[in-house]
Structure formats: C-alpha cells, structure tokens
Chain A
C-alpha cells in the first residue's frame, strides 16, 4: 500500500558518487516534484539519514530479458521492474526476444505501457533488428524509433550474415543515436556447446564452444561498423581478444561500445564442475585468465558498461539435466552487490568507475537522458542509495518470478536501501513500495 509520497525528500549526509559531474563527496541531496532541488532546507521535509551510505544516479540496465509478452510464467514486466528497482535500477532495457517478438511498434507500446503501469522504473524496450529475429528481413526500425526505441538487437540470436548487419548499421544512420547491439556467436562453432571449450569441458564430458565462437563475430561486426559508419554495441563480452578488438576499434575512432555481465566478471568455467545449471550461461563462463582480461577491459574503459543479461527461467527447466537446461541467470537484484563485493572491495574498480559502468555509460548508450546523472538541481531525480557494507546471503524469495541466480548461496556485501525513480521513492529501506 503506497503511503502518500512525501512532497520533499532530503537524503542527508550521503556519500554522493556522481561520475557525470566528477563528484565524490558527502552531501545532502534533495528531491521534490520529480527533480533534484538545491540542497538548502525547505518546508515539510522528510529526512532520510544516509550516514555511511552511497548515493548515486540510479542504475541503468542495457540488457535484461523480461519475458513478457510470451513467458509470463518466468517473468513479467512488472516483476522484472520490481526486481530492477530493488537492485537499484531506475531504467531497464528489455530485449526483443519475446513472443511475439518486439519487431514492431505495437509490441513496443505494449511493453512500455506495462512498464508505466508497474511504475517502478523506466522501461526502454529494445527493438528487434530483423523481423521475427529470423536474421533475414530488417524490421521496421523507423516505426520503432518513432515509438521511442534507440537500441535494436536480435539478442538471443546472432545476426547470421554480414550483409544483414551491414544494412542495419547503415540504415540506422538515418536516426540519431540509434545503436545496433549484437549478440556475437558464430552458429556452427556454438552448435551443441554447453559451456566453454577447454580442459574443464573435456573432463566433464560436456561439449564446449571456444572463444573463437565470439571473436570471429566480433571481428566481423567491427568490420561492418567500419564499413557502414554506424553505431555498434557488443553485448556480454566473454573473451580477451574481443576486448582487444574493441580497444583497437575505439582507438581507430569507430563508434563501438561494449558491455560485460557481473557473472562473467565473477565466475569462470571452474564453477561448472558440479554441473550447476545456474551458471550455465551464454556466452559461457570462460577460463580464469579470461576473466582477468574482462576486468582489465572494464577498468580501463574499453568495456563501457556492466549489463545484467537478466535471464529468468522456470524452476523445472533449470532443474533438468545439464544439457537440457536453458542458458541464463537472473541478475537485476544482485548486480550491484556482486560488483561491489568482487570488484570494488578488492580494489579492481573504484566506486566511481563502477557507478559509471552501471549508470552513466549505459544511460548514454541508451539515450536515456533522464538517467545516469549528473545529480544537480533541475534534473530528473533518478537515484539509488545503497549501503556498501551490509552483508547478506543470496537466497529466495526473489522479487523476480524466477530463482535461477548464479549467485545463489553466496554472501555478498552491498544492499540497496532506497531507489528513487523520477522523484518517487519506489524502494524505501530495502522494500518495494509497490
């Protein structure tokens, strides 16, 4: 039951980390009428004490699967948004591999409306590149751009031919700020692969797919970006050479961006030794040395953003035999804590860089101007307040309808306390208000 939303909220004495403005200092942040206000005191303020807490621009997830329409048993836009808000996200970009596919304005509108009705975070639906994700005919990109879409992706699938990708990248140049996001996977090498191909897969008797499955397509896609002059974004990178190629592409001045998931930053193929289907993901978790390259790439900015690739699956599907189980892990509720525990705490990333990767950069790629900071008077209030020291074990119940978390049973440090979406306190003291 939502209480009457306080008219004026003061977050007192929080450590404000705002990469967009370069701020990292203890300060008050005041929110009223949906925007950030100057921090002088005002009438009838509700004060939330934030001593020891971090206040940052709300997180933005470039890559999640909310499963609606089509698989509402696994997740709905509403449950996914609740999971997102509890994870500190104020914006989520749900991928287009729904049923029906989001390859036209009607489905886009439907998804956006569901997000509005849930009223927990902003939803930026991703449109398909090709009709039905079939990889052949281009979807009506223009119509979807008019409906507000900025990112297009056939994620779940890889665009099968260079020609289709080239056309999409080229065509999309009509529209400002439109990004083609690719799931890089060479189909014939990936075929039958259950995990990373290496010593572990050989010993477990599971078919694997090598790094080249991704690298071959990253190389192709970067070439097409060069050829077309379009904007390319590479989803969930897993291999070191992919990172190198992105580095070179950026140095060359190509408009290429990249993301990595929390689970690829934390786990490796060794975590599959017990055939745990919760860590069966695509692209697969690769070797420990690959993980180091991903972390370094994130740290030096080659990889722009962290995106969850939140992929809910039904319990019975994930409880099946390993090779029958679908790929994916949920991640919206654990992403921030995972990054804080495994990357910030050990010193691989600063808090500021982590927030930049989880908020500022994805907001920029998504074209979500209201998100990502800077936190200054007049700008929409999309904020997250979290306690970096609070510890907890990842276990059900989750806000997500599904439970397939790679982090199940792990102890993580970092708890979202408040989430503010367009000035509304959607999560207060760790509890969703809707």
Chain B
C-alpha cells in the first residue's frame, strides 16, 4: 500500500479488498470487552482538523486509541491553527513532534497533498474541500459488502449535490474501481458537466432510477447552495430529489439507504425513512471506526516509527 491515503486513486482494487478484510478483524476487536490491541503502541497520530467535524474526528480518535496509539488533536478552536499560522508552519511543528500519521481535514482541496511536502509521516485525508473523502468511501464500501455480500455489479445511485461533495467523488471512483454501476442523480446545476468521464451515468429523474437500485446513497444538501442559486428553494429540491416515504417504496426490498451524515431530515431524506431498517446510516458510523483502524494499521504497520527514541 501507498504511504499516504490522499485519494481513492491511492488504493488499487486489491488494496481495497485488503482494507475491508482487515477491517473485519478490527470490527471483532470492537466487540471485545477490552476494545484495544497494541498494534500501534508508541506511535503518534495527529488529528489536524481545520474544519469542525466532531463525528469524523472522534471516529479517527477512537480508531487510533484502539490501536494503542497516542492521539493529539489540533482543531480549529484554540491552538495555533486558529491564530492564523500557515499550514506549512503547523506541519513543520508536527513533524518536529514526531507525528507518525497526520489525519487532516481541511476546507481547501489539495491541502493533504501539500502537507506531504513538509512531513515525513503518513498523511490521511479526512476530507479536503470538495475533492475527496476516501475513508468515508471505504467505510461505505464495507457497509455495502457487509449487508449485500458483494460490491461488484451493485447498482448504486448517489443523489444530491455531487458538484460540491467530496464524498460523492471518492465513492464514485471507489465504486468504479470495484466494478459497481453508479448513477449520479440531482439537478443539472449540481452535477459536474464532465462527470460521465468518471465512468458513471447521470440522471435528473430520481423516480426512474429507484426501482433498479441496490443502494440509494443520499448526500447532504447545504442551504448555502440555495443562496448561490443552484436550485430555487430547499422545498423544491426536497420535492424533486428527496427520498420521501412514498419514494422509498419504489426501491427494491433488499435495497439499502445510506447517508454520510449529518442528515438534513426532511430535505434529502424524510425522517421516517431515516429510521427504517434498510437505512444503515448508524452502521456506517460503527463501521467507520473499524475501517479507520484498518487504514491506520495498514499504513503504519508497514513502516518504522517516526523519530529515534522509542518507548522508555
């Protein structure tokens, strides 16, 4: 495996299978009373979160701690990050502290790649701007495989603001790599014009797509997109593209409803729909810890610890 995980393009299909298989073992660890293994003891994992995201950060933090790594949180509130220190200087500081892995979430696309220029440890992209969120895509694949037994040949729809969604990009690329069929659904203003080059179909009619799906994956619609006039109103968006109580019955029995969270109940997904058994949104969260453990383990176990001094 590559030293860094910046994009889904950093992992091959066999790598992905390896990540998912290893995650199975870590899921088992999560069922034990002592949910910890010593695999990354003595390693330091830094969560460098320029964007507020409690759930993803906690997921990574738990993952690192369950591997017995030491965790440092650099978040926007407090610390030099908020005082306007440049990414470069923050990186050099972390490097001086001997970070083995840096998990970075940032609002600028490409910043994880920029970070790799200044640090020796592994860099994991926890979401950069509208570019990618590879760990989310991997935990989504894990959930699909777990529930449906396979990924190849699955028919998946990704519904919503694809244009501004890093999750949609990573997931589309990942599904294409694993041989699934993806359709992007949403208003034309929210789907990149060149998206078909990603090996996906595009549709602007949700109801025509629903009956043939194995997975309906909903994206969060942000209110500022309405202010930027990508669609006239949240109400109209929900009316045309929301997964309502009525629409969910158009899905095949076995189809899953997924969402990366946090949900806008009543916009992209009706409240009742979110609570149906086929909505595996909570499982996605649980699986997230196992998948992130798997990634941290695979990235760091194949390399020596940072810095010369090991544990006393």
Instruction: Give A residues with C-beta under 8 Å from B.
Output: 198-199, 202-207, 274-275, 316, 319-324
Chain B contacts for A203, CB-based, 8 A: 169, 198
Judge whether B131 and A206 touch: CB under 8 Å.
Answer: yes
Would you call A275 and B113 a contact (CB within 8 A)? yes
Q: Give 9 pairs: A residue, B residue, CB < 8 Å, sorted on A.
A: A202-B193, A202-B194, A206-B130, A207-B130, A274-B113, A275-B114, A320-B87, A322-B111, A323-B110
- Asked whether, in the complex, the Cβ of B87 is within 8 Å of the Cβ of A321, the reply is yes
Q: A319-B86, A319-B88, A320-B87 are in contact. Are A198 and B194 (CB under 8 A)?
A: yes
Tell yes or no: B129 within 8 A of A by CB.
yes
Considering the complex, give the chain B residue whose CB is closest to the CB of A191.
B228
Would you list which residues of chain B between 25 and 75 have a CB under 8 Å from chain A? none
What is the bound-complex CA distance between A316 and B85, given in angstroms? 11
Q: Are A322 and B166 in contact (CB under 8 A)?
A: no
Establish whether residues B86 and A205, one from each chain, have CB atoms under 8 Å apart when the complex forms: no
Which of A204, A274, A319, A324 has a CB less than 8 Å from the CB of B131? A204
Flag if B129 contacts A205 (CB, 8 Å). Answer: yes
**Which residues in chain B, 105-140, are within 8 Å of chain A measured between CB atoms?**
106, 108-111, 113-114, 128-132
Contact in complex: B109, A205 (CB < 8 Å): yes
Contacts of B166 in A (CB 8 A): 205
Tell me, rounded to whole Å, the shortest Cβ–Cβ distance linking B130 to chain A. 4
Q: Are B169 and A322 in contact (CB under 8 A)?
A: no
Q: Which residues of chain B have C-beta atoms less than 8 A from A199's C-beta?
A: 194, 197
- In angstroms, Cα B158 to Cα A272, docked, is 27
State in angstroms the CA–CA spacing of A204 and B108 once bound together.
Answer: 11
**Min C-beta distance of B2 to chain A, whole Å:** 15
A316 cross-chain contacts in B, Cβ below 8 A: 86, 88
A199 (CB) vs chain B CBs: closest residue: B194
In the assembled complex, the CB of A427 is this many whole angstroms from the nearest CB of chain B, namely 34
Q: How far is the CB of A308 from chain B (nearest CB, A)?
A: 26
B193 proximity list for chain A (CB < 8 A): 202
Tell me the smallest distance from the CB of B136 to a CB of chain A, in Å. Answer: 14
Q: Once the chains bind, are A322 and B108 in contact (CB under 8 Å)?
A: yes
Q: Which residue of B lies closest to A324 (CB)?
A: B108
Docked CA distance A283–B198 (Å): 26
Residues of A within 8 A of B195 (CB): 202
B192 at the interface (CB under 8 A from A): yes
- With a CB–CB cut-off of 8 A, which chain A residues contact B132? 205
A314 to B304, CA, bound (A): 37
Is the Cβ of B194 less than 8 Å from the Cβ of A321?
Answer: no
Instruction: Decide yes or no: A206 and B87 within 8 Å by CB, A199-B197, A323-B129 being known contacts.
Output: no
Residues of A within 8 A of B110 (CB): 204-206, 275, 321-323
In-complex Cβ contact of A323 among B108, B192, B197, B198 (8 A): B108
Cβ-closest chain A residue relative to B133: A205
Q: Please give, as numbers and ranges, the residues of chain B lying within 8 Å of A204 by CB-CB distance.
A: 109-110, 131
Q: Are A205 and B194 interface neighbours, CB within 8 A?
A: no
Chain B hits for A323, CB < 8 A: 108-110, 129
Asked if residues B131 and A205 are in contact (CB atoms below 8 Å), the reply is yes
A207 and B129 CA atoms in complex are apart in Å by: 10
Known: A319-B86, A321-B111. 8 other contacts (CB 8 A): A199-B197, A202-B192, A203-B198, A204-B131, A205-B132, A205-B169, A206-B110, A321-B114
- Tell me the nearest residue of chain B to A200, going by C-beta: B194
Provide the bound-state CA to CA distance between A70 and B197, in Å. Answer: 45
Give me the 9 closest cross-chain CB pairs, A-B, nearest first.
A205-B131, A275-B110, A321-B108, A202-B192, A205-B109, A199-B194, A205-B130, A322-B110, A321-B111
Determine how close the nearest CB of chain B comes to the CB of A404; give it in whole angstroms.
15
- In the complex, which residues of chain B have a beta carbon less than 8 angstroms from the beta carbon of A206? 109-110, 129-131
Q: Which of B108, B113, B132, B195 has the most chain A CB atoms closer than 10 A to its own CB? A: B108
Closest residue of A by beta carbon distance from B172 = A203
- In the assembled complex, the Cα of A80 lies from the Cα of B129 at a distance in Å of 36
B267 → chain A closest CB, angstroms: 23
Residue of B nearest to A322 (CB): B110
Beta-carbon nearest neighbor of A317 in chain B: B86
Q: Mark B267-295, 1 if CB is under 8 A from A, else 0.
A: 00000000000000000000000000000
Closest B residue by C-beta to A194? B109
Contact indicator per residue, chain B 169-202, by CB within 8 Å of chain A (1) or not (0):
1000000000000000000000011110110000
Q: Which of B110, B128, B169, B192 has the most CB of A within 10 A?
A: B110
Chain B neighbourhood of A322, CB < 8 A: 108-111, 114
Cα A207 to Cα B230 in complex, Å, equals 14
Closest to B109 in A: A205
Q: What are the residues of chain A within 8 A of B198 when measuring CB–CB? A: 203
CA distance A202 to B168 in the complex (A): 11
Q: B87 → chain A, closest Cβ, in Å? A: 6
Closest to A319 in B: B88
Interchain CB contact under 8 A, B131 and A321: no
Give 1 or 0 for each of B74-105: 1 = CB within 8 Å of chain A CB: 00000000000011100000000000000000
Residue on B nearest A198 in the bound complex, by CB: B194
The CA of A275 and the CA of B192, in the complex, are separated in Å by 19
The complex places the Cα of A274 from the Cα of B197 at a distance, in Å, of 19
**A202 to B169, alpha carbons, bound, how many Å?**
9
Nearest-Cβ distance from residue B184 to partner chain A, whole angstroms: 11
The closest CB in chain A to the CB of B128 belongs to A205
Quote the shortest CB–CB distance from B198 to chain A (angstroms).
7
Check A275–B86 contact: CB distance below 8 A: no
A274 to B129, CA, bound (A): 15
Complex Cα–Cα for A294 and B106 (A): 36
The interface residues of chain A lying within 8 Å CB-to-CB of B114 are: 275, 321-322
Docked complex Cα distance between A21 and B129 (Å): 55
List of B residues within 8 angstroms of A324 by Cβ:
108
- The docked-state distance in angstroms from the alpha carbon of A199 to that of B200 is 13
Identify which of residues 132-169 in chain B touch chain A, using a CB-to-CB cut-off of 8 Å. Answer: 132, 166, 169
A206 to B128, CA, bound (A): 10
Cβ distance B4 to chain A, nearest Cβ, rounded Å: 13
CB nearest neighbor in A for B166: A205
